[in-house]
Amino acid sequence: MDNLKSFIAANKDRFLNELITLLKIPSISADPAYSKDVLKTAELVEKSLQDAGCDVTEICETKGYPVVYGEKMIDPKLPTILVYGHYDVQPPDPMDLWTSPPFEPVIKKTELHPEGAIFARGACDDKGQMYMHVKAAEFMIKNNELPCNIKFMIEGEEEVGSDSLADFLEDHKEKLSNDIILISDTGMIANDVPSITTGLRGLSYVEVEVTGPNRDLHSGIYGGAVPNPINVLNKMIASLHDENNHITIPGFYDKVEVVSDAERAEMAKAPFNLEDYKKALDIDDVYGEKGYTTSERYSIRPTLDVNGIWGGYTGEGAKTVIASKAYAKISMRLVPHQDPDEITELFTKHFESIAPKGVQVKVNPHHGGLPYVTNMDSIGYQAAAKAYEKTFGKTPIPERTGGSIPIVALFEQVLHSKTILMGFGLDSDAIHSPNEHFGVWNYLKGIETIPYFYKYFTELSS
């Protein structure tokens, strides 16, 4: 790996330009208007795998957007690392809050990224982080330093729940067989505090609809005498948390893993500055479940959040109206050993039971996913830790994150594979928000660190 650093330095501009080309295509999986762009992105990803030196590449059809597959097999007796990533992105809205257009990438300096960061939707989640793996593979293949076999599986529906992937895994078990799965689709604590993600939360996502009168009504003629679905929905939602911010759905906490005081004390050693946290978000206080610290609230505890709520008149000026219907989208983040289907059922039963007379309630489940926790004693974790030690000069801190990558639990169920999560983004990189960005330093550091994971994983496996 002697020439890894010089290879990256010599190719830095090309690596950035290639990523910029990828970021220019609006591969928004949630919006069918962009389906051509999503497919175009899959083709570009396939080409990048060919250019990196993969022997086999394929655009694999699924019932939704395709999975891009690639492989470079050295020797079947050597370990095989499967890289997973996603080429789809979140919708960019609200557009007016972007300081530069989401699909016209530009490099700008920020306080945390003095060397510049690429601003574009998908820069960090996940095109930038996925592409680090393609460039790391290019280095290892072109320099004859690939110590083991490599497979890529880059999907196009992660941001909409990876609906086609369960079938895809079942149908391609052989093709996807591996010794470890490697993913960069999470974050790290800070550029000088490397960390390895050891846990992801699960997810249950529902949409609720409350119907009152059969049509929109004049809020003067009828107001006060009929159920107003928006008022009712808000009251129902408010009742889902008690005064300690515990979730009130009966049975919701029954299966929640109790983290021991010793483990909590261990987790509390990870650096976290509450004042900086509040300052970065312009809030004068945090808010959450009584009895838990902020970092516990977003990692080891389950949550319920309204993600969107609508109904009635929201246009210019005022319209006096009682809407016939009100809606909300609600996510519940889950922790071991909660089951998304069970939680969705508990939610549905409870939500229907608290509806007052006079309205009708419908609960439509969306995608879900199981939580995941990794074992720090594994060869995979050790190899990742050594890789960070090599390139950051520091031992990474294990950290459970609040986000979800539902495919990780599926990998374990269907392929019986463990996953290592090596994220290089920062929480402040604004993923899913306006002005998403990814540090140039982080991008290049990822490309530098990944080959060492291959080296140490192969060494530790033998």
Name the residues that contact ligand BES, by CB under 6 A.
125-126, 158-159, 161, 185-187, 203, 367, 369, 401, 403-406, 431
CB of 269 to Mn ion, least distance (A): 27
CB of 219 to ligand BES, least distance (A): 36
Nearer to ligand BES, 380 or 406 (CB): 406
CB of 247 to ligand BES, least distance (A): 18
Q: Which does 404 bind (CB under 5 to 8 A by kind): Mn ion, ligand BES, none?
A: ligand BES
Which residue minimizes CB distance to ligand BES? 403
432 Cβ contact list (under 8 Å, min separation 6):
90, 125
Nearer to Mn ion, 126 or 138 (CB): 126
Q: Which does 362 bind (CB under 5 to 8 A by kind): ligand BES, Mn ion, none?
A: none
58 Cβ contact list (under 8 Å, min separation 6):
46, 68, 69, 70
CB of 455 to Mn ion, least distance (A): 26
Q: Number of C-alpha atoms within 13 angstroms, CB side, residue 244?
A: 5
CB of 356 to ligand BES, least distance (A): 31
Q: Which does 371 bind (CB under 5 to 8 A by kind): Mn ion, ligand BES, none?
A: none
Nearer to ligand BES, 380 or 403 (CB): 403
Q: What is the DSSP string of 56-94?
A: EEEEE--SSSPEEEEEE-S-TTS-EEEEEEE--B----S
Nearer to ligand BES, 293 or 433 (CB): 433
Residues of the shown chain interacting with Mn ion in the complex, contacts defined by CB under 5 A: 125-126, 185
Which CA distances in Å does 347 have to 206, 238, 277, 298, 337? Answer: 9, 14, 31, 20, 17
CB of 407 to ligand BES, least distance (A): 9
Q: Which does 369 bind (CB under 5 to 8 A by kind): ligand BES, Mn ion, none?
A: ligand BES
Q: Is 328 helix (H, G, I), strand (E, B) or coil?
A: strand
Q: Which does 186 bind (CB under 5 to 8 A by kind): Mn ion, ligand BES, none?
A: ligand BES
CA dist 185 and 264 (Å) reads 25
CA dist 339 and 336 (Å) reads 8
CB of 333 to ligand BES, least distance (A): 8
Nearer to ligand BES, 304 or 359 (CB): 304
CA dist 50 and 88 (Å) reads 20
Q: What is the DSSP string of 137-201?
A: HHHHHHTT---SEEEEEEES-GGGT-TTHHHHHHHTTTTT--SEEEE--SB-SBTTB-EEEEEE-
Pairing of strands 67-72, 56-60: antiparallel
Nearer to Mn ion, 37 or 185 (CB): 185
Nearer to ligand BES, 159 or 436 (CB): 159
